[in-house]
Structure 1
Amino acid sequence: MAPSWVNDRSYYQEDCPIYFATDFRQIRNSLSHADYRRINGGNRITLSEFYKQYHKYIMLLYQNGRELWSIQNIEKIDLGDVTEFNRMIFE
């Protein structure tokens, strides 16, 4: 279970770190491909370092995506092609 401060709004009110996108891509690549650098990171960020530095940003992405991809009453929403795409994936 997460500590209570992790769920506090103030914990998330800051700018995204400069290297988040680069590090996120490297972690994604090292976990999604057979790569010896998974074990020690090589010249890339390790999974443990990534977790320590970016956990809250990943959680924000996850929660935002979860909310956006679980739209209820889609029949009442008209966002053009976005609505059409959502209809397709829910059928």
Structure 2
Amino acid sequence: MKFETGGELDSDHCIALTHEFFRCNDAFKLFCHYAELMVTKGKTREISYRAYNSYASFVHHLYEFLMGCHARDAGNTNITNKKGDERIRIIEGYVMHHAQRVMNQYRDAIKNGIAPDWVNDIGFYDVEVPDCFAKDFREYRNKICGHVAFERSSTLNLSEFYQKYHKFLYYIYRDSIYCWGSNTQEFPNLKDITDFSVMVEEDNN
């Protein structure tokens, strides 16, 4: 469905985007907790299981968030009317462009002397995003969290994915905090999402 920026559907879409980013943020914080436990207390099956789950959730929600951003950029909830391989090509092109833009942004900030103090050496950012990043991102999102698949326990090694791609995921995530993270002390109104309740509420009418 097509929509215009600033309209009612766009407003609802932005609420869904905020919700998705919050879920991504929650998953990342939980992953950091278990990653720290793994380092400080040692690796166990249970800690690995919980770290795996939280990182898989982070990957899933970050991918879904990017797809929501793509839909908003296109002004179309369907993202693209293309099907099959053409649809995948368009989506992966968006992910690759976004990842490269973020890395270039940090590289250029260092070159121009305006980067924050905590950034790494310029060589960390002055890189080409690997050609298979978007494809692997999509495949891992689908099978480590989205769908039950035998590859999850055999051929899709999340540890290898983390070592190869985490810095790109992290900086995409960090880049999104400024626009989609909560900038106020009061938790935002997400309509039906934050109205959810398991309690029976009285009708005051």
User: Normalising by structure 2, what TM-score?
Assistant: 0.29
Aligned counterparts, 1:1-91, within 5 A: 7-10=119-122, 11-32=124-145, 33-41=147-155, 45-70=156-181, 72=183, 90-91=188-189
3-state DSSP of counterpart to 2:128: coil
* 8 Å Cα contact 1:31/1:38 also seen in 2: yes
Higher relative contact order (CA 8 A, sep 6+): 2
Deviations 1:6-28 (A, max 9, x none): x5142122121100000000110
Report what 2:26 is aligned to: none
* 8 Å Cα contact 1:27/1:46 also seen in 2: no
User: Residue 64 of structure 1 aligns to which amino acid in structure 2?
Assistant: D
> RMSD of aligned C-alpha atoms?
2.1
3-state DSSP of counterpart to 2:129: coil
Alignment length (residue pairs): 67
Runs ≥4 in structure 1, deviation > 2 angstroms? 70-73
Structure 2: give runs of 5+ residues left out of the alignment. 1-35, 37-118, 190-205
User: Normalising by structure 1, what TM-score?
Assistant: 0.61
CA separation in 2, counterparts of 1:50 and 1:27?
A: 8
CA separation in 2, counterparts of 1:15 and 1:67?
A: 24
| Percent of paired sites with the same residue | 31
3-state DSSP of counterpart to 1:58: helix
